[in-house]
Amino acid sequence: MTDASPDFRHSTPDDLQAALDRDPSLLARWTDLTPLARNEWICWMTSPKKQETRDAHLARLKEEVLSGKRRPCCWPGCPHRRESARKYFKN
């Protein structure tokens, strides 16, 4: 049984878009990722509640994507894609 929606996508947050606009190397690596992989990175980056943690996630996203990583390490996947997990998130 799966209730994952392959059509669910997060919007690119402003701080990530600004980082992509400033760094052509990061943008090239980012556009090489699949839409689902980009969605996983965005969800992972925006999930923390504290701004300082979110900022740390953005810094790590930039470093790891530039080094060739395709998905966030140790991330079980975007919970927003699973109907059963959506109740834990407010958007």
Q: What is the pLDDT of residues 3-34, one digit of tens each?
A: 444 566 889 999 999 999 999 999 999 999 99
Distance separating alpha carbons of residues 25 and 66, to the nearest angstrom:
7
State the pLDDT confidence band at 74, using cuts at 50, 70 and 90.
confident
Please return the burial class of 68, using the count of CB atoms within 10 Å of its CB with bins 0-12, 13-18 and 19+: exposed
Average pLDDT, the chain: 85
| pLDDT value at residue 12 | 93
Q: Where are the domains of the chain?
A: 14-88
Q: Are 45 and 78 in contact (CB under 8 A)?
A: no
Distance separating alpha carbons of residues 20 and 62, to the nearest angstrom:
9
Distance separating alpha carbons of residues 26 and 48, to the nearest angstrom:
22
Residue 81: HSE in the Cβ half-sphere, 13 Å Cα cutoff: 18
State the pLDDT confidence band at 55, using cuts at 50, 70 and 90.
very high
